[in-house]
Structure 1
Amino acid sequence: MRAESLVSTIELSRQDWLAYRQKGLGGSDCGTIMGVNKWKSKFQLYLEKTGEYVEEVNNEFVYWGNTLENLVAKEFELRSGKKVRRRNSMLVHPEHNFMMANLDRVVVGEKAILECKTTSAYNLGEWEGDEIPAVYLCQLQHYLAVTGYEKAYIAVLCGGNQFIWKEVPRDEELIEIIIKNERKFWEENVLAGVAPEIDGSSAATDLLKKLYPEDNGETLMLTNKEDQIIEALEAIKSELKELEMLKKKYENQLKMELEEAAQGLSPKYVVTYKAADRNDIDAKLLKAEAPELAKKYTKTTSVRTLRIKEVK
């Protein structure tokens, strides 16, 4: 069965494109649902799909993303000897209409797609050998599920000067897992209007900072549910203090063994304990002797701090 075209993207504005994306789950959503996307939580994805949150768009980011996509696609043609073309449509799975796909390119003469990426040189290690970041692997298998194609190619420009391309075969077992998890998220969360539980990821923390940057000065009455959360949090804090003390104990035992030695060797480990100079600005002295200069380079930011105090 072939994927169906939901809408042509040739003259589709970005605003309309985003509106259509709310009608289902795209390839870039797959990694979030599968729990391998460190940049976005399922809670944020739920808010986006229900229209409760719209992520800010950096026009420069969009511009360079499109520009470099063309460059990566052309370089893939040169290095692989294959030809690619655009598929100017938003596609929908023939059976699972919550699964959509916006393909970068399709490969001419093959039942295959090409996904184009750019990344920092710091991420080069994630592409060594046969490795592909899990979030992109999920994206590719999502696209293969929607299109019914046999394989995918992914091409990435790392740090602006290292080009890598790889072939990824269709993985039916992973596709089944993806469909199951995407269906659950779409039906039990998005359609049901039930937000998934917020997690402890840095992505979720950053989202809360964006959603609620300031307090309104009001007092909100909490319930037994929040009391249970607080009790669990306080128990964890107590355990962390104990673990931190235990950690320091073991560190001090090693320091005692090393004494003045810079390094210690065991059959299994190398332990170093070296002195190093560190330059810090004495903020107190700077404010006292050069208050205007200190004021000029002082940045004020608003930070909300969560504190818990037991009522007696």
Structure 2
Amino acid sequence: MNACMRQEFLAARRTGIGGSDIGAILGVSPFKTAVDVYLSKTQPTPMDEPAEYTYWGHAVEPIIAQRFSEEHGIEVIRPDTIMRHPEHEWMVANLDGIIPGERPGVLEIKNVNTFSAKAWGLEGSDEVPLTYVAQVAWYMAVKDYDYAVIAALFGGNEYREFRVERDSELEAILIDAGRTFWFKHVLPRIAPEAKTLSDVASLFKSDDGGAVEADDALFDLCTQLKSAKAQSKSMVSKIELLETKIKACMGKSAMLRYQGQLLATWKTQASQRVDIKAFEQAHPELCQQFRKTSESRTFRLK
């Protein structure tokens, strides 16, 4: 996908709720939050290069789709446009593939790393992460299909398929959640409640210099936070003390064992980094050319 096509694709996605959005709206996505979805619909999307996992996920899609075709002796349809629900135009779907036949189905392709494999079940089952259940359920609703197959490649060398049947009760829940989000948050430009530190950082990037008066509840939250930070600091000190004692006993040894069991390792690892200060002294003009100013907000309890 070239830059122009990607820009058009991102613009189209801002016109509705997609399958990868609904899981975040429901709070079951490990990749993004409802606030992330809100901002992606209401603010211009920067044309940054996709992350490595996103890049490779798209790169291997044709290969996984081809494997599915070979397994079933059919030619998968690869749509190149974003689709919409016939009644709810705010419901959109960007399908990886359509399984042709008298009863067509959704084909969703996933490139799964080894560390995430434990969240998946046996081949042929419907045991997949909740965010993907929500995703394909959304696609089935948009296309009025009765089933979806998730074709997944695990660790780059293990292919598995999972089948998810249409569930009318789940579908109703998703549509209701999507409708509420679209009409109560996106269209009126009212952000959903922040759930993470990343959410509040994204919503409130800079301060206005003013002050807000705390009520009793907010004062209590600050008191609780002070207490939690004090406990955390004490625990960090304890951890550092224990680690210091263990490392001192290990000395130059790379491994620590107890009755044949490996307890810990302390191995030398080489790393490379750019010495920014030395580079700036040697090439001040070049350094100035690539200097970038960024802003962030620092939170301090008083």
Normalising by structure 1, report the TM-score: 0.69
Superposition deviation, residue 200 in structure 1: 2.0
Aligned pair 1:220/2:209, yes or no?
Answer: yes
Are 1:40 and 1:204, in contact at CA under 8 Å, matched by a contact in 2?
no
1: CA distance, partners of 2:154 / 2:98? 22
Superposition deviation, residue 77 in structure 1: 1.6
Instruction: Find the residue that maps to 1:152 and give its secondary structure.
Output: strand
Superposition deviation, residue 233 in structure 1: 3.4
Aligned pair 1:88/2:80, yes or no?
Answer: yes
Superposition deviation, residue 128 in structure 1: 2.3
Size of the alignment, in residue pairs?
259
Superposition deviation, residue 148 in structure 1: 0.5
After superposition, residues 92-103 of structure 1 pair within 5 angstroms as 92-103=84-95
* Structure 2: segments with no counterpart, 5+ residues: 236-257, 270-274, 279-293
Superposition deviation, residue 179 in structure 1: 0.3
* Larger RCO, structures 1/2 (Cα 8 Å, 6+ apart): 1
- String of CA shifts for 1:214-262, please: whole Å, max 9, x gaps: x7xx87222125885454132244367679989xxxxxxxxxxxxxxx8
Normalising by structure 2, report the TM-score: 0.71
In structure 2, the CA distance between the partners of 1:275 and 1:32, relative to structure 1 (3 Å rule), is: closer
In structure 2, the CA distance between the partners of 1:307 and 1:127, relative to structure 1 (3 Å rule), is: same
2: CA distance, partners of 1:188 / 1:210? 17
Letter in 1 for 2:119: E
Q: Which residue of 2 aligns with 1:204?
A: 199
Q: Which residue of 1 aligns with 2:113?
A: 120
| The one of 8, 13, 20 aligned to 1:21 | 13
After superposition, residues 74-85 of structure 1 pair within 5 angstroms as 74-85=66-77
Aligned pair 1:46/2:38, yes or no?
Answer: yes
Are 1:48 and 1:54, in contact at CA under 8 Å, matched by a contact in 2?
no
In structure 2, the CA distance between the partners of 1:219 and 1:74, relative to structure 1 (3 Å rule), is: closer
- String of CA shifts for 1:43-86, please: whole Å, max 9, x gaps: 12111101255473328666533331000001112223443112
Cα RMSD for the two superposed structures: 3.9
Aligned pair 1:166/2:155, yes or no?
Answer: no
- The more displaced of 225-234 and 32-41 is 225-234
Superposition deviation, residue 100 in structure 1: 0.5
1: CA distance, partners of 2:163 / 2:209? 54
Identity of aligned residues (%): 33
| The one of 85, 99, 115 aligned to 1:107 | 99
2: CA distance, partners of 1:235 / 1:194? 29
Instruction: Find the residue that maps to 1:114 and give its secondary structure.
Output: strand
